[in-house]
Amino acid sequence: MQFLLILGVLGVLAQWYWVAGSLNTNNDDQVFSITPKTQAEVDVVKNVSSQYETVLWSPAAPEFIREGAEVHLFVPGNSSQAVRELLRTHGVTHAVLLANTKELIEMQTRNASTDPRSGASYYEKYHTLEDIYHWLNKTAMENPDRIKVILIGSSFEKRPLYVVKLSAISTTITNKKAIWLDCGIHAREWIAPAFCLWFVQYSLSFYETNRDIARILDNMDVYVLPVMNPDGYKYTWTMDRMWRKNRSIREDSRCAGVDLNRNFDANWCTEGASHDPCSEIFCGEFPESEPEASAVASFLRRHKETVALYVSIHSYSQMLLFPYSCTRDLAENHAELLLMAKEAALKIKRYYRNVYKYGAGAETIYLAPGGSDDWAYKLGIKYSFTFELQDRGQYGFLLPPSEIPRACKEALVALKTIALRVIEKIPPPA
């Protein structure tokens, strides 16, 4: 009995140690900025990022590292010396982008219950998955005439995938089009779910007073999936803040997770994705092999006549992207999409003095097949975008909560601008 008790205590301690340790709450963890100047330097950085216990923040995988392009590399304290040494031996210079990751993670995970003095609103904080499910329930109960919650499937670990359907109160309209908005495909991009919550709250609060949001909701319903990758998101709160993929496991590999944004059927697993389960851009076993991607794809297939605008929210790098990312070919309505993205970027610049790049994914960021935006486009949703929210690397995924409002306002103005343009192009509801 005593033995069992000791074993139990040890188990709890081990779990605590694991959580504290692997959440990267180490004081010595840093993020390096490295700009390789030659192909030889590119190879060194690729080597460092794949051989040492580091996490690539940007670009998403070593394959995308190029001469002259800045690399952001998370380096845990215990690999720091070896990484520095190797870079120095090969004459590769680096700057420390972030030296206080522990503090930043603490800032991000501090919430109302642990920090009662904070004056910030619910929407100016990051929330755990459980909190978000609770919010969803509460918001739906408080707004029964404007919100419907739809269960579209479940994750690999059997967590529900809930979509919020936002509508204007009037119900006589029959042929209303819709917007699809998903957040949090990638687990560590916490600003994304924060935006989905912000958007729902904004729409509910300002329908009566804001002309743009009224025009949008009068013409279109909005389907919002606040956390597309709940298992991954949960994992970033409990185990590894830097996790990107979902949490599916396979018998034939020690590595977990599929990159959900490489799992859609759009030139699936061609250049820019990987068949290696240990890669950050692992495409999975076959298109839609993952329940999260399959749930979204099935829902959109069922609603493809109504969904006129698809938007997926990611971070970081401040970009407004549109198809294609899976090929260098231009989309059939490239000019139209470019104009919409340009107008949205200009509005962000005018209102918030912040620069967002815009363009087709393949040329603006990198070739990346199997993405949800390209797949939605190929399904027939001709207005399809991926927004990469703040910032451009100052904090990266560890964007402090104090920056949430501005990041969300920027995304909101971009979304409103594009949605209003789409409304001009579609037949009005009858």
Could you list the active site residues? 388
Residue with smaller CB distance to ligand 0X9, 197 or 321: 321
| From 116-124, 313-321, 371-379, 392-400, span contacting Zn ion (CB under 5 A) | 313-321
- Kindly tell me which residue out of 36, 62, 232, 361 binds ligand 0X9, with binding defined by CB under 6 A: 361
Q: How is residue 255 annotated by DSSP? A: -
Residue with smaller CB distance to ligand 0X9, 213 or 264: 264
Interface of this chain with ligand 0X9, residues 188 to 207, rule: CB under 6 A: 189
Interface of this chain with Zn ion, residues 118 to 147, rule: CB under 5 A: none
Interface of this chain with ligand 0X9, residues 155 to 194, rule: CB under 6 A: 186, 189
Is the torsion defined by CA of 281, 282, 287, 290 positive or negative? negative
Nearest to 136 by CA among 183, 201, 213, 192: 201
- Kindly tell me which residue out of 245, 314, 382, 416 binds Zn ion, with binding defined by CB under 5 A: 314
186 binds Zn ion (CB under 5 A): yes
Residue with smaller CB distance to ligand 0X9, 139 or 386: 386
Token pair 């419907």: residue: 148
- Give the total of residues touching Zn ion (CB under 5 A): 2
Contact 283, 262 (CB under 8 A): yes
216 binds ligand 0X9 (CB under 6 A): no
CB of 283 to Zn ion, least distance (A): 15
As separate numbers, helices (DSSP H) first and strands (DSSP E) second, the chain gives: 13, 12
Cis peptide before 235 (omega within 30 of 0): no
382 binds Zn ion (CB under 5 A): no
What DSSP string describes 308-356? EEEEEEEESS-EEEES-SSSSSPPTTHHHHHHHHHHHHHHHHHHH----
Residue with smaller CB distance to Zn ion, 58 or 109: 58
- Kindly tell me which residue out of 359, 371, 396, 401 binds ligand 0X9, with binding defined by CB under 6 A: 371
Contact 257, 276 (CB under 8 A): no
CB of 315 to Zn ion, least distance (A): 7
Interface of this chain with ligand 0X9, residues 258 to 277, rule: CB under 6 A: 261
In angstroms, rounded to a whole number, what is the distance separating the alpha carbons of residues 410 and 405? 9
- Kindly tell me which residue out of 314, 382, 392, 416 binds ligand 0X9, with binding defined by CB under 6 A: 314
Strand arrangement, sheet containing 177-183: 147-154, 160-166, 220-225, 177-183, 307-315, 383-389, 319-322, 357-360
Angle (CA) 364 367 373, round 5° = 80
Residue with smaller CB distance to Zn ion, 241 or 314: 314
CB of 147 to ligand 0X9, least distance (A): 28
- Give the total of residues touching ligand 0X9 (CB under 6 A): 15
- Kindly tell me which residue out of 292, 373, 391, 410 binds ligand 0X9, with binding defined by CB under 6 A: 373
In angstroms, rounded to a whole number, what is the distance separating the alpha carbons of residues 57 and 36? 15
Contact 59, 71 (CB under 8 A): yes
Binding map of ligand 0X9 across residues 59-88, x = CB under 6 A, - = no contact: -x----------------------------
Contact 77, 71 (CB under 8 A): no
236 binds ligand 0X9 (CB under 6 A): no
Residue 373 main-chain phi, psi, to 5 deg: -65, -45
Nearest to 217 by CA among 177, 186, 158: 177
Which positions touch Zn ion (CB under 5 A)? 186, 314
Contacting positions for ligand 0X9 (CB under 6 A)? 60, 186, 189, 261, 314, 321, 325, 361, 365, 368, 371, 373-374, 386, 388
